[in-house]
């Protein structure tokens, strides 16, 4: 099971690297002047490629996590694990919300400021920190 845990950690860390960077691209997109089509298209291309890559990393991260959970199902009555799983659902929602934001930029329908995206960028960091603390400390 140590191999499964190692692969889970590798894929989760890689997935989160994308989740950390995607909103940064949104900050840049929100700051692009309307007449700068080339810069906008370059950032959209980067965001699309990153989203695809993040999605590919999410699948094994969740798969290895499910494998670990199934192997230790008797420990499911622990409160920290319930909260961790709820936060993982939140991370999946955050991931998919990034896709809807990307669509709004494609359709020139974004109405949010670069400041909003700077705050949105911190959400993935807070989710990651909370999950790591729950897994390592197991506070309840």
pLDDT tens digits along 107-118: 999 999 999 999
Cα 26 from Cα 21, distance rounded (Å): 9
What is the predicted pLDDT for the residue at 42? 98
What is the predicted pLDDT for the residue at 79? 87
Residue 45 confidence class, pLDDT cut points 50, 70, 90: very high
Q: What is the mean pLDDT of residues 107-132?
A: 97
Does the annotation list 138 as a binding residue? no
As a whole-number percent, the residues of the chain with pLDDT over 70 amount to 96
Answer for the pair 23, 102: CB distance below 8 angstroms, yes or no: no
Report pLDDT digits (tens) over 85-111: 999 999 999 999 999 999 999 999 999
Q: How many CB atoms lie within 10 A of CB 81?
A: 17
Q: How many CB atoms lie within 10 A of CB 103?
A: 11
Does the annotation list 99 as a binding residue? no
- Ranking 12-26, 41-55, 69-83 by mean pLDDT, the lowest is 69-83
Q: Give me the residue spans of the domains in the chain.
A: 2-137
DSSP letters, 118-134, are HHHHHHHHHHHHHHHHH
As a whole-number percent, the residues of the chain with pLDDT over 90 amount to 88
Question: What's the whole-number average pLDDT of the chain?
Answer: 95
What is the predicted pLDDT for the residue at 13? 97
Q: Which two tokens stand for residue 128?
A: 């990651």
State the pTM of this model. Answer: 0.93
Residue 74 confidence class, pLDDT cut points 50, 70, 90: low
């Amino acid at each position: 099971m140590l191999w499964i845990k190692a692969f889970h950690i590798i894929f989760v860390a890689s997935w989160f690297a994308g989740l950390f960077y995607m909103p940064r691209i949104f900050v840049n997109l929100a700051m692009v002047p309307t007449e700068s089509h080339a810069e906008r298209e370059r950032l959209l291309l980067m965001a699309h490629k990153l989203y695809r890559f993040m999605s590919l990393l999410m699948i094994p991260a969740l798969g290895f996590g499910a494998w670990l959970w199934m192997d230790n199902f008797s420990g499911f009555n622990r409160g920290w694990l319930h909260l961790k799983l709820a936060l993982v659902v939140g991370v999946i929602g955050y991931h998919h919300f990034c896709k809807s934001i990307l669509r709004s930029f494609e359709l020139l329908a974004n109405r949010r400021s670069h400041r909003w995206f700077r705050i949105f960028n911190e959400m993935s960091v807070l989710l990651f920190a909370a999950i790591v603390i729950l897994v390592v400390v197991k506070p309840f």
